[in-house]
């Protein structure tokens, strides 16, 4: 199993380094470029939510991103010091049209629709969000 940890400031300009880490980890796990992009999107949404809703603004507080991979599996853990927020309890499925999607408010749904497992815990005053994506047997790389 391969693993890596990245510690970033709670600032939007740090998102590219998170995306790069997730892309590399997803590639190492054997995902297609389309699946890699989806994983990047889900994790970016989660990190943006920590910055925007957890910290309330861009701040010096840290966010730790830990990834581990094995063939066909990507595990991501996000850890932060923001106030408690459990995204697994705050899903609000909304009906919307592809022709007129809402602006904002879909991050949690995006995370849950892309990732296979989403778990939250609060330990020692820190939020821990665990995300897992498994490669589907029928997911052949066609891109």
pLDDT for position 137: 75
Show the CA angle centred on residue 25, arms to residues 22 and 31, nearest 5°.
100
Query: Quick check: helix, strand or coil at residue 3?
Result: strand
Mean pLDDT, consecutive 10-residue stretches, the chain (143 aa), reads 92 95 97 96 94 80 95 98 82 58 69 94 96 80 48
Q: Which CATH fold would you assign to the domain 2-134?
A: Heat Shock Protein 90 (3.30.565)
Contacts of 15 (CB under 8 A, 6+ apart): 44, 47, 48
pLDDT tens for residues 46-57? 999 999 888 887
21-36 per-position pLDDT tens digit: 999 999 999 999 999 9
Note the pTM of the prediction, 2 decimals. 0.85
């Amino acid at each position: 199993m391969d693993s890596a940890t990245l510690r970033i400031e709670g600032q939007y300009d740090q998102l590219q380094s998170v995306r790069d880490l997730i892309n590399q980890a997803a590639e190492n796990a054997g995902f297609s470029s389309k699946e890699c992009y989806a994983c990047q999107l889900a994790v970016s949404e989660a990190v943006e939510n920590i910055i925007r809703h957890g910290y309330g603004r861009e701040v010096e507080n840290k966010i730790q991103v830990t990834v581990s991979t094995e063939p066909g599996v990507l595990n991501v853990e996000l850890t932060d010091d923001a106030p408690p927020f459990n995204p697994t309890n705050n899903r609000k499925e909304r009906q919307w049209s592809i022709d007129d999607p809402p602006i904002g408010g879909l991050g949690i749904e995006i995370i849950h629709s892309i990732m296979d497992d989403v778990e939250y815990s609060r330990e020692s005053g820190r939020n821990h969000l665990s995300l897992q994506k498994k490669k589907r047997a029928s997911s052949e790389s066609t891109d």
